[in-house]
Structure 1
Amino acid sequence: MWRRSRTQCHDGRAEGPPVPHPTPAQLPDTEGASTGARGDGGRLRRHPGVARTVTAGTTFLAAALLLTALLLPNQLDQLRPRAFLRLPAEGIVLSAALLVLPGRARRVTAALAGAGLGLLTLVKCLDMGFYSALQRPFDLVLDWILLDDAADYVRESFGRTSEVLAIAGALLLVATVPAVTVLALVRVAERMARRRPSAGRTTLVLAVAWVTCATFGLQAGGAPVASTLDAQLVDDRVRAVRAGLADARVFTAQAAVDAFENTPPDRLLTGLRGKDVLFTFVESYGRTAIEDPAMARQVGAVLQEGAAALDAAGFAARSGWLRSPVLGAGSWMCHATLLSGLWIDNQQRYRNLVSGDRTTLNGYFRRTGAWRTVGVVPGVRKAWPEARFFGLDRSYDATHLGYRGPYFSWTPVPDQFTLEAFDRLEYGRKNRRPVMAEIVLASSHQPWAPLPRMVDWKDLGDGSVFWPIRKAGKDPAEVWKDTERVRTEYRVSIEYSLRSLFGFMRRHAHRNTVLVFLGDHQPRPEVVAGSPRRDVPVTIVAHDPAVLDRVSGWGWTPGLKPAADAPIWAMDKFRDRFLTAFGPQDPSAAQASRKATVRRTNHAGSSSQG
């Protein structure tokens, strides 16, 4: 504590009394002043009061930023002021650790913890986006490839400039957030070390407060004051990563089991021989479109009109529900789930599926040799090697339909043109084999603006008729400013897709046409009003009563609209049930099934179209 300050006289003797050596806590705080002196010519050095204010303000801002990062929720609908009225256990524990660590270890720990907090904040931002679009968190193992799809969607829906700005903003966020949290935590750690006694007392008080709040279950705004948000988030992600890494092995084992793999071709799909079978996916056609009070009346009217027209042409229908593997986006996974009989809810499973040798429903039709298998996929605009895996003899993407009209945001080809092109290219050909077709109707794809509208079928031509319709359409940026407008435009898009499909059936369907149409997934969370339900309607339409007799045991609802209490199957169960229903049957069982169907139909009455 004491040292002797010697001032040498010219005679060599020491002069002056002993001078006390100050401790670090007794040293004046000149960090901010010296820093300021270097940056502004010493003005802060000449104004110590200003220097102290700048130093305190910078430290306060750093602490506020760290607290915000710790308490930031990972869902947009939870991003409210009350979310920050909590005590984060992670911050208290980290403060205690930094107080007991020596200089170099403290700085290294602060830098590493700051980087970790920044990365966790980025994961929360990704979660916000995924919850908004898919109502689930971002998967650290399986979802990276979807970011490229998201960029494509932004470009095709809002333009190239919007895509560039979105990518630039994302890169800036990735570079800035970890750097800022590292600097902030290092700053706070050093200030705590300089004020160790008071920082220690503050940390102890906060720890006691946290334990008290946790013990008595105190809440603020419906959430516990004693928070462990980040610890729980990290634990969930560790579990999800482990599950994602193990999922490939689980999926491989599931894909190896196929009840129909060894079935002879002549015993496959015997109940549909001679029929044209059209599997039609209607984009985002979910339970919400049928049951939401704001949509049910208008969509129900379209279904009733379609049912009346089909009934007049001698067709009948049965409808049920399927539970989709995804919500909001990921149509290709839904198509793969239905056709493969495997649950495809992430991109890794999809890649493993299409690189394997699983036989899809299309493939079984093709294996019989009784059908030509065709895919109509207007949402595809580049090479699609998966067509071979799905067992398609021919696929028609957006560039092969003869369309010369405009895009409607993401949608390259309006549904009405897609269906008429299918008839021109395949269905209306003379002297052809029966067709099994997978048709994707994409006009009801988000962002639901601008939208096409029905035109006279004779005026479709090469699609140029849609240019003035596109020009008069709504701006998606304007529509998405209001949730109710988004919901309205979604409903209108579903009406258009259904009218296109029913119009095609009126024009081109015949006695041997069998139509299976369904939704791929529910629309975005904004449209379903946060509902977690993933149900989509599925309907079989046929002219031949024997076709519907085959599915009489399914408990489906007569008509185009499934009843609220109709059975709900997981979408991956459809393939095997369909192959079973339309495979060889015992004649006596088939006759009994037909009689039961007649009794149920008579009881329901002809007005049960819903």
Structure 2
Amino acid sequence: MQAWRERHPVAALTLSWVVTFLAAVLVYICLEMPNTLGQLRLMEFARIPAEAIMAAVILLSLPRRARVIVAAGFGALVGTIAVLNMFDMGFNEYLGRHFNIILDWSLFGDARGYLKDTFGGTATQVITVGVIALIVVLIVLVALAMVRLSNVLVTYKAIATKGTLIAGTVWITLTAFALEFHGIPLAADHTAGVIKYQVRAVQETLRDEAEFKKVAKVDAFGNTPGSQLVPDLRGKDMIFTFIESYGRSAIEDPIMAPGVDSTLAADTQALSKAGFAAKSGWLTSATYGGSSWLGHSTTMSGLWVSNQQRYRTVMASDHLSLTDAFKKTGDYDTVGVMPGIQKGWPEQSFYGLDKVYNAFQLGYQGPKFSWSTMPDQYALEQFQKQVHSKPRTDGKSLMSLLILTSSHQPWAPIPKLVPWDQLGNGSIFDSIEKAGNKASSVIADTTKSRQEYGKSIQYSVNSLTQWLERYGNDNTVLVFLGDHQPIARVSGNHASRDVPISIVAKDPKVLQKIDSWNWSDGLRPAHDAPVWKMSSFRDKFLTAYGSTPHPKTN
């Protein structure tokens, strides 16, 4: 290399300055990297970063060895912050919130499983290796870039000192006069702000964990005897069903709503002909775009389970869940049907479920529909055959918890309804799956994603209501709701967290008990129907159906 430099001094000098320029650009981009895709615009990079000025001041004052160590450390920190900002982009785009550096690492395993189901094992492996390599290379390159820039500063110390002084003066002036360009401050301290935010987020997470443990120990119905729980529902077969990603956007967004609303109207009419009536309202979910288990546990526990740490706390507690309340009466067998579960599920104990049917216990031999292991119609038919139709030899009623998954992103391919008596082992869906859209053709197209999302909700709701028409009886009471809104790219960056909830029954007394809730008649809640926090539903439901509070405080 040295010989080449001596033979080609001009080329060597040019290459050296090009590398230095690229190093400066890399560090600058990482310093100004926004944390949402909406902010990823050229104007965001037209600012003077305070961190660069401070770094120059420090590096110019240090001896060589210390300077190299500090420069490399600062570069690695800047690279790491840039990676965290990229994580933030992804979490804001899909989950509508920032990445939590304490709680969210476990979600990457779920993300990898989602990619595998969507794109296949080989593509997922390539993506995983590529992402890890990109993260490592970025951090290393930024560290090396900072070392190179520090060497340049020292080589041209006099010029660098004057330039740093001028830049500092300009930054202070811009800050003092709050000068902006298209609403963006020209003087930036973005990276320092990100560090402050992350430190504060860590502190708040740790404080929240301690406070939530105290909250979870308080339970208005924790000491209520079984004989005083839901007395007005004795003899009813209760079914609680969550429909994946069924949110307010499905009913009110101009792209998705027409099809979904017509489905809800037609299904309301069909159920009415079958003797059923329904009332519907809104719940504000504790999660958004994903992490469905947070919505499930919030609804069933009556606690605001908005992050993974809260979820672990609740699952390890003896806080009364709605399902467990029915079990505690001694008059119900409790069963879960969860086609999305493909591994051990210790949460069964918290929910008080005597039996859980997972993806491998429903006899399905048809194709997967992307993430969803089986169509909702098939899962419901197996619920009927293996659970609902079985006579209760002990004279008990049935309390069931169903999690339907066909409306899970990426909404391609989507199942179609087939004659119920032709479902068999599910192989009838082979041709439907092959003829459906490919996930890769939908996932990157916002308009198409919205359209297909709406169709998936129609399919799930149709499957559930047709099951109820076909197999429901005078004692069937169905409560179904969404767990969260779809991802922000589909529902919109400023969409609410509201999800629809409906209670359906033949016995008019069941719906009369909730007249005071002022819910809308039918399966479609009105725009101005009451909106409650999802965590309030458990206590309202238990109270409406005659449960007597006996608080537990520790």
Tell me whether the two structures share a fold, i.e. TM-score over 0.5. yes
- Do 2:339 and 2:379's aligned partners in 1 also have CA atoms closer than 8 Å? yes
User: Deviation of residue 79 (structure 1)?
Assistant: 1.4
1:307 to 264, 268, 271: 268
The alignment's C-alpha RMSD in Å is 1.3
- Structure 2: 5+ residue stretches without partners: 549-554
CA distance in 2 between counterparts of 1:483 and 1:343 reads 31
Relative to 1, partners in 2 of residues 1:292 and 1:532: Cα closer, same or farther, differing over 3 Å?
closer
Identical amino acids, percent of aligned pairs: 45
Of the candidates 335, 338, 343, which is equivalent to residue 374 of structure 1? Answer: 335
Alignment of 1:499 onto 2:462: yes
- 1:153 deviates by 0.8
Is 1:562 aligned with 2:525?
yes
For the 8 Å contact 1:86–1:220, the answer to whether it is kept is no
Correspondences of 1:130-529 after superposition (within 5 Å): 130-431=91-392, 433-529=396-492
**2-side partners of 1:51 and 1:429: how far apart?**
82
Tell me how far 1:180 sits from its aligned partner.
0.6
8 Å contact from structure 2 (residues 249, 495) kept in 1: no
Distance in structure 2 (CA, Å) of the matches to 1:102 and 1:431: 82
> Matched residues in 2 for 1:497 and 1:330: separation?
19
Tell me which amino acid in the other structure corresponds to 2:235.
G
The corresponding residue for 1:18 is none
Residue 578 (str. 1) matches residue 525 (str. 2): no
- Whichever residue aligns with residue 522 of structure 1, its letter is Q
SS of aligned partner of 1:398: coil
- Displacement of 1:47 in angstroms is 3.1
Q: 1:77 to 1:584 in 2, by over 3 A?
A: closer
Matched residue SS, 2:220: coil
Give the drift of 1:312: 1.4
Give the Cα separation in 1 of the matches to 2:129 and 2:491: 31
> Within 1, Cα distance between the matches of 2:220 and 2:69?
58
Show CA shifts across 1:257-294 (max 9, x none).
01111112111101101101111101000000000011
Which shifted more, 165-174 or 144-153? Answer: 165-174
- Greater shift, 502-511 or 165-174, is seen at 165-174
In 1, Cα distance between equivalents of 2:267 and 2:170 = 64
Preserved CA contact (<8 Å) 2:256 2:453 = no
- Give distance in 2, aligned partners of 1:151 and 1:70: 29
Measured in 2, the distance between the counterparts of 1:175 and 1:296 equals 44
Q: 2: distance between equivalents of 1:210 and 1:276?
A: 69
Q: 3-state SS of the aligned residue for 2:290? A: coil
Q: CA deviation at 1:217?
A: 2.4
- Alpha-carbon shift at residue 431 of structure 1 (Å): 4.5
- The secondary structure found in structure 1 opposite 2:360 is helix
Distance in 1 (alpha carbons) for counterparts of 2:4 and 2:405 = 65
What amino acid maps onto 2:143 in structure 1? V
* Equivalent residue number for residue 552 of structure 2: none
Find out whether 1:63 has 2:24 as its counterpart. Answer: yes
Matched residue, 1:85: 46
Q: How far apart, CA to CA, are the structure 1 residues paired with 2:346 and 2:165?
A: 62
Q: Offset of 1:381 from its aligned partner?
A: 1.1
User: Given that residues 278 and 511 in structure 2 are in contact (C-alpha distance below 8 angstroms), is that contact kept between their aligned partners in structure 1?
Assistant: yes
**How many angstroms apart in 2 are the aligned matches of 1:487 and 1:295?**
6
> Aligned partners of 2:203, 2:229: CA distance in 1, in Å?
40
SS in 1 for 2:421: helix
Query: How many matched pairs?
Result: 546
| 1:549 alignment partner, one of 484, 498, 512 | 512
Distance (Å, rounded) in 1 between the aligned partners of 2:378 and 2:470? 13
1:157-193, CA deviations, whole angstroms, 9 ceiling, x for partnerless residues? 1100121012101220232112111110011011111
Distance 2:148 2:482 in 1: 54
TM norm structure 2: 0.96
Give ranges in structure 1 of 5+ residues lacking alignment.
1-35, 586-610
For residues 367 and 183 of structure 2, the distance between their equivalents in structure 1, rounded to whole angstroms, comes to: 49
Corresponding residue SS for 1:400: coil
**Cα distance in structure 2, aligned partners of 1:221 and 1:50:** 41
Q: Does the CA contact (< 8 Å) of 2:71 and 2:143 recur in 1?
A: yes
The separation in 2 between residues aligned to 1:51 and 1:570, in whole angstroms, is 65
Q: Could you tell me the TM-score, scaled by structure 1's length? A: 0.88
Q: Distance in 2 between the 1:386 and 1:158 partners?
A: 29
* Distance (whole Å) between structure 1 residues aligned to residue 170 and residue 547 of structure 2: 71
Work out the CA distance in 2 between the residues paired with 1:484 and 1:414.
Answer: 24
